[in-house]
Chains A and B, each alone.
Chain A
Amino acid sequence: MNFSRGFNNMGSPHLPPENTVGKIMLQVLLALLPGIAAMTWFFGAGILIQIALSVLFAVSLEWAMLKLHGKPVRLFLSDYSAVITAILFALCIPPLAPWWISLIGMIAAIVVAKHLYGGLGQNVFNPAMVAYVVVLIAFPLELTRWLPPRGLAEAELLPGLLQSLQTIFSGHLPVNLSWDAITQATPLDLLKDGVEQNRMISEIRRAPVFGNYGGRGWEWIANFYALGGIWLIWRRVISWHIPVAIIASVIILTLPAWLYDPSSNPIPLEHIFSGALVLGAFFIATDPVTGCASRRGKLIFGLGVALLTLTIRLWGGYPDGVAFAVLLMNMFAPLIDRYTRPRAYGKPR
């Protein structure tokens, strides 16, 4: 009886792996759901429209790029990586941002950051963050139009689903509304301005957008992201190293200042629960492709993200620095990997 088939298949091991790329990405998508739900609850249906738009653009662009590159389309579309990129991007932009923001963002993400480097697994920079930084730098006005979270008086004015659709596609608010009336500075904006004007933290925090320990609404959204992230760690889709390194470093780095002078330095929790830090720690910085592979490398990567985020938040020109920090660390990841190789069995260090 003969068993000769493709020579390739003769090598061990003879058990195929059980895990697949698609399964991993699908679990990440599932883990994002609670956070998305919370965001929709606090900021309205605009979030869902942005997600739908971005996913649509991302998948069509991915399809086009795969065709151009001559790669198997069905296979690579079913790995869901483009969908994750699109959702992460959509969660970072204001809910009523015009439709072309996601188009431009997705071109930057899928075409430039991903497929110019050869597609899945070969990109150097996190595509979602490239997209966000591109639109943030190019369209600062549109990107600062954040809405008030549910629970504030202004939030009563928020447009419904149809009106949101209309706003996103026309770029104009319904006649009875104006941007000034409904847009609201994020807690991090206020904090930054306040500290620059030498106001007391307790004074700044009196603004209604602040919640119990972070921004109102934001803190709950962060909790739900963390929930999904912890599930991912439990499922071993991501390792604990990067999220723990980021959050622990933020606490350790901000604790001394707060202990020294609580009146002019915000409590460490404030840093964690406002802005995109939790989302970044669990879902963005943990992108395996653009991160580090070894355990020590991951810890260093996390520390770097935390350090750079705080640097930009405290002294830089932007209120939040997670996206920049992740991109900067992406840039250093190959170098970190190079110098944090684990010790091989029986070899000296």
Chain B
Amino acid sequence: MSEYLLILVSTVLANNFVLVRFLGLCPFMGVSNKVEGAIGMAIATAFVLTLSSASSYLVYTWLLVPFDLTYLSTLSFILVIAVMVQLTEMIMHKTSPLLYRVLGIFLPLITTNCAVLGVALLNVQEHHNLLQSALYGFGAATGFGLVLVAFAAVREKVAMADVPVHFKGAAIGLVTAGLMSLAFMGFSGLANL
């Protein structure tokens, strides 16, 4: 039990994929202008990440390992992720067209969100079982979503601040992300895996 808890704490806080491992920065900067969009992205990513890390585990253990094809893992993981993203995109297009519109290009870009592939590969590296893999994916997505939503709220506030012209927009966003990362350094040493 405590092992699963540790996975969660580690992925959400101590080894946060965005602020500590610096993975998935593209959607982190791209979809954080509005809180609503960020929440949508967080949910979509959670969905994709959990499913893809579980299914890539299945593909790995049942297909790649028995046939001794582990050298194809990156390739097949990308395939799995691409499918998951497509699926999410279709479902979202149906259920929430506006969110689909707001997420825009970043929705298909979940495919290239390095956090997603990173999670799948790390699962293999850490020899996680199915549940652990899914949890690892879910934890990573939760950590990603948490900081993404908080970052979006911060950016909404900063957008109305009197930021010097040269720092407006992405520049001050990156400075903010840096300071957030600084704050997350406080969790170092927490839940060492």
Contacts and interface: CB of A to CB of B under 8 A. Distances in A.
A23 interface: no
A134 interface: yes
A185 interface: no
A315 B191 contact: yes
A332 B150 contact: yes
Contact of A113 (B149, B154, B179, B189): B179
A27 interface: no
Contacts of A137: 182, 185
Given A116-B172, A117-B161, A335-B149, A130 B185 contact: no
Contacts of A122: 158, 161-163
Nearest to A117: B161
A325 B183 CA distance: 8
Contacts of B161: 117-118, 122
B143 to A, nearest CB: 13
A327 interface: yes
Given A117-B161, A118-B164, A334-B157, A125 B179 contact: yes
Contact of B182 (A68, A124, A134, A312): A134
A330 B157 CA distance: 12
B125 to A, nearest CB: 23
A116 B164 contact: yes
A234 interface: no
Contacts, number: 95
- Kindly name the residue among B149, B153, B154, B179 whose own CB sees the greatest number of chain A CB atoms within 10 A: B179
Interface magnitude class on chain A: 35 or more
Contacts of B156: 334
Interface in B138-193: 147, 149-151, 153-154, 156-158, 161-164, 167, 172, 175-176, 179-180, 182-191
A312 B164 contact: no
Chain A interface, DSSP helix/strand/loop, else mixed: helix
A317 B188 contact: yes
Contacts of B157: 124, 334
A331 B183 CA distance: 9
Contacts of B158: 117, 122, 124
A338 B157 CA distance: 11
A220 interface: no
Interface string A114-144: 0111110010110000100110010000000
A315 B186 CA distance: 11
Given A324-B183, A334-B153, A338-B35, A116 B190 contact: no
9 contacts: A112-B175, A115-B164, A116-B163, A122-B162, A124-B176, A317-B190, A327-B179, A327-B183, A335-B35
Interface of A: 68-69, 112-113, 115-119, 122, 124-125, 130, 133-134, 137, 308, 311-312, 315-318, 321, 323-325, 327-328, 330-332, 334-335, 337-338
Given A124-B154, A133-B185, 12 more contacts: A116-B163, A117-B161, A118-B163, A130-B179, A130-B182, A311-B187, A318-B186, A321-B186, A324-B187, A325-B186, A331-B183, A334-B154
